[in-house]
């Protein structure tokens, strides 16, 4: 070993993962120079030796990569064959190091029982490899599969080649990379917040495009424009403008608080600095968080924190961690999760944005495509397995076009959805078919009050007691005004909205008494093209 190589290796000892040169080259170089400086200060090396060693540039060797001119300290990739399932092992090591410290992980003889299912992991790696076949880095794909009721991570792939990149894209920023924008795959959190607040899936919003809300323009994907669409149609066809209006009703902070409770741990969000575009996924998330959070829907509103570990014992057999019977926390009402599941089943059915990618069992999901096709997602689940698939360029987000036989821009409903379908079909081949719970209806009390107020009804008296009589006093409804003013809702961008939305709001008594006057019969206009 040269002096420079020795200093780099010595620098690894306090924190091997942190100073690993292929994963963190800047930190490894900084550490190497610190070691050389300390050796000079302790007079272990001469000033000339110090100057010669520090002049050597750290170079990450790779196939077809020419070394730079001058003296170098070369770092060669490890052989892939040395580690089976390298992305899962990397996730496991990071998880354990964060909880017990690297010294315990590497030196204290821990006995670790993992959640990994080798068959599911192998299918995950196969599905990703088949999609990426014929393409080259830095185009990447990640897939994470989580068991909803336990939080057990059954399979995890963070890219095409861990040995050469040392970056685990499944973990986002925690894996040495960065989070990526989920596009419209974030809409289910907005939908869930709306249902939690008592907004019915039959509530309708305008799907016209483009619109301007608060001075910000919003568009539907591909320039599609709609009339009035209910929340079911807005979700299955991914109508951006409708979801911007919905977010405006339910609130950005409230929606982000719900997403956090469900497992989204983005550091990109700061209250007061983000607007309605968050409804369309304008923040960074990781594939692991998305698979875990969608698992809450599958688990009917209960969350079990994602983990790669069933049990950890120390060298003497003492239990340090036991997740064999994981604790679950209720973060959504059952009725909310059941209705979200029913709505998102439509995404995988005819007319949905992933209508060609259904599997031979009940499943639900959501497509997502970031602006200019820079990131593409499909996150879908059955009652027993929740899986996220992300695709994009790892070095810097940029447009994906004409890849893998897909003409034009890559959307979440193209290669990511096809990869999800291939993986889930294989992963669940021997698993009994289970169905989602049929949802109970959500009565839109907020919509009732809004309509009555708009027609002159005093909503403050709705629950006002009258004398000593039991029950509540409901004022007699006035006759509907012929030209009653209406509240127009504007709304914002998305994916493969191929058909015009259904303008029918439903046939309730209140609808017949107080019909909306939102130009429902006006033909849709055409807006300019925008990202999902």
pLDDT for 349 equals: 96
- Tell me if 45 is assigned to some domain: yes
Q: Does residue 313 share a domain with residue 437?
A: yes
> For the stretch 417-438, what's the b/e string if a residue is b when 16 or more beta carbons lie within 10 angstroms of its beta carbon?
bbbbbbbbebbbeeeeeeebee
The residue out of 392, 413, 441 marking a domain boundary is 441
182 contacts 190 by C-beta, under 8 angstroms: no
Cβ contact 504:214 at 8 Å: no
CATH number of the domain that 100 lies in?
3.40.710.10
**Claim to verify: residue 9 and residue 92 sit in the same structural domain:** no
> H-helix or E-strand containing 190?
helix 187-196
**C-alpha–C-alpha distance, residues 169 and 152, integer Å:** 19
What is the value of pTM for the model shown?
0.74
Domain final residue, candidates 42, 77, 112: 77
8 Å CB contact between 350 and 219: no
Same domain, 14 and 61: yes
How many Å separate Cα 160 from the centre of its chain?
20
DSSP state of 226: -
Same domain (yes/no): 29, 164: no
Q: Is 320 exposed, middle or buried (0-12, 13-18, 19+ CB in 10 A)?
A: middle
In a domain, 265, yes or no: no
290 and 387 co-located in one domain: yes
Residue 217 located in a structural domain: no
Q: Is the model's pLDDT at 491 over the cut of 70?
A: no
Domain final residue, candidates 60, 77, 94: 77
Q: Given a cut of 90, is residue 290 above it in pLDDT? A: yes
Judgement on whether residues 50 and 90 belong to the same structural domain of the protein: no
pLDDT band at 385, cuts 50/70/90? very high
Report pLDDT for 510: 33
In angstroms, the Cα distances linking 450 to 109, 247, 286, 445, 457 are 64, 17, 38, 9, 9
- 413 shares its domain with 296: yes
In this structure, the answer to whether residues 130 and 104 fall within a common structural domain is yes
The boundaries of the domain holding residue 400 are 81-179+285-441
Q: What is the pLDDT of residues 329-365, one digit of tens each?
A: 999 999 999 999 999 999 999 999 999 999 999 999 9
Helices (H), ranges, 371-486: 415-427, 445-454
CATH code: domain of residue 21 = 1.10.3810.10
Specify if 219 maps to a domain. no
pLDDT of residue 530: 38
Q: Per-residue pLDDT tens for 94-128?
A: 999 999 998 888 888 999 999 999 999 999 999 99
56 and 119 within one domain: no
Each residue's pLDDT tens digit, 35-85: 999 999 999 999 999 999 999 988 888 777 778 888 888 887 765 445 789
Domain presence at residue 482: no
Q: Would residue 470 count as lying in a domain?
A: no
For residue 469, pLDDT beyond 50: no
Count Cβ atoms below 10 Å from residue 313 Cβ, excluding itself.
16
Looking at the 3D structure of the chain, how many domains does it have? 2
Residue 454 has pLDDT above 60, yes or no: no
- Cis amide bond preceding 210, omega within 30: yes
In a domain, 458, yes or no: no
Q: Given a cut of 70, is residue 524 above it in pLDDT?
A: no
Confidence tier at 203 by pLDDT (50, 70, 90):
very high
**Domain shared by 86 and 156, yes or no:** yes
Q: Residue 465 above 60 pLDDT? A: no
Asked whether residue 63 is assigned to any structural domain, the reply reads yes
The answer on 158 and 29 residing in a single domain is no
* Residue 425, pLDDT score: 98
Whether the predicted pLDDT of 457 surpasses 50: no
Q: In three state form, how does the secondary structure of 260-321 look?
A: HHHCCCCCCCCCCCCCHHHHHCCCCECHHHHHHHHHHHHCCCEECCCECEEEEECCCCCEEE
Statement to judge: residues 152 and 294 lie in one domain = yes
């Amino acid at each position: 070993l040269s002096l420079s190589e020795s200093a780099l290796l010595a620098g690894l000892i306090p924190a091997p993962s942190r100073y690993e040169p292929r994963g963190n080259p800047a930190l490894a170089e900084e550490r190497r120079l610190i070691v050389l400086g300390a050796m000079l200060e302790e007079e272990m090396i001469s000033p000339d030796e110090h100057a010669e060693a520090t002049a050597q540039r750290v170079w990450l060797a790779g196939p077809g990569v020419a070394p730079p001119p001058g003296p170098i300290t070369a770092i060669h990739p490890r052989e892939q064959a040395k580690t089976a399932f390298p992305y899962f092992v990397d996730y496991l090591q990071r998880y354990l190091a964060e909880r017990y410290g690297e010294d315990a992980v590497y030196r204290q003889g821990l006995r670790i029982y993992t959640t990994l299912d080798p068959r599911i992991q192998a299918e995950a790696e196969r599905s990703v490899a088949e999609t990426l076949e014929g393409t080259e880095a830095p185009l990447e794909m990640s897939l994470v599969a989580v068991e909803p009721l336990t939080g057990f991570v059954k399979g995890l792939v963070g890219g095409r080649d861990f040995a050469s990149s040392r970056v685990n894209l499944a973990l986002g920023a925690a894996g040495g990379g960065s989070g990526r924008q989920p596009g419209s795959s974030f809409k289910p959190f907005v939908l869930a917040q709306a249902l939690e607040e008592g907004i019915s899936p039959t509530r309708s919003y305008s799907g016209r495009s483009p619109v301007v809300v608060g001075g910000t323009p919003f568009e539907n994907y591909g320039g599609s424009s709609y009339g009035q669409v209910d929340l079911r149609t807005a979700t299955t066809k991914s109508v951006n403008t409708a979801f911007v209006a919905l977010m405006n009703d339910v609130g950005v902070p409230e929606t982000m608080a719900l997403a956090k409770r469900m497992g989204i741990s983005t550091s990109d969000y700061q209250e007061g600095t983000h607007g309605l575009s968050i409804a369309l996924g304008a923040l960074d998330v990781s594939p692991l968080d998305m698979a875990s959070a969608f698992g809450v829907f599958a688990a009917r509103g209960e969350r079990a924190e994602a983990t790669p570990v069933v049990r950890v014992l120390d060298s003497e057999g003492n239990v340090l961690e036991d997740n064999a019977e994981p604790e679950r926390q209720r973060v959504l009402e059952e009725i909310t999760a059941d209705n979200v599941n029913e709505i998102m089943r439509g995404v995988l059915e005819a007319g949905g944005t992933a209508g060609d990618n259904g599997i031979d069992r009940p499943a639900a999901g959501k497509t997502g495509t970031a602006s200019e096709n820079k990131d593409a997602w499909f996150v879908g689940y059955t009652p027993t397995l929740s899986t996220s698939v992300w695709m994009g360029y790892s070095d810097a987000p940029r447009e994906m076009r004409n890849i893998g036989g897909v003409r034009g821009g890559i959307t979440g409903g193209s290669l990511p959805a096809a990869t999800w379908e291939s993986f889930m079909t294989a992963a669940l081949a021997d698993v009994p078919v289970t169905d989602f719970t049929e949802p109970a209806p959500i009565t839109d009390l907020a919509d009732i009050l809004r309509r009555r107020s708009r027609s002159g009804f005093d909503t403050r008296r709705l629950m006002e007691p009258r004398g000593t009589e039991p029950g509540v006093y409901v004022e007699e409804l006035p006759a509907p005004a012929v030209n009653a003013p209406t509240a127009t809702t504007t709304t914002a961008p998305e994916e493969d909205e191929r058909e015009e939305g259904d303008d029918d709001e439903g046939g309730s008594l209140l609808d017949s008494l107080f019909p909306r006057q939102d130009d429902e019969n006006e033909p849709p206009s055409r807006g300019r093209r925008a990202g999902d």
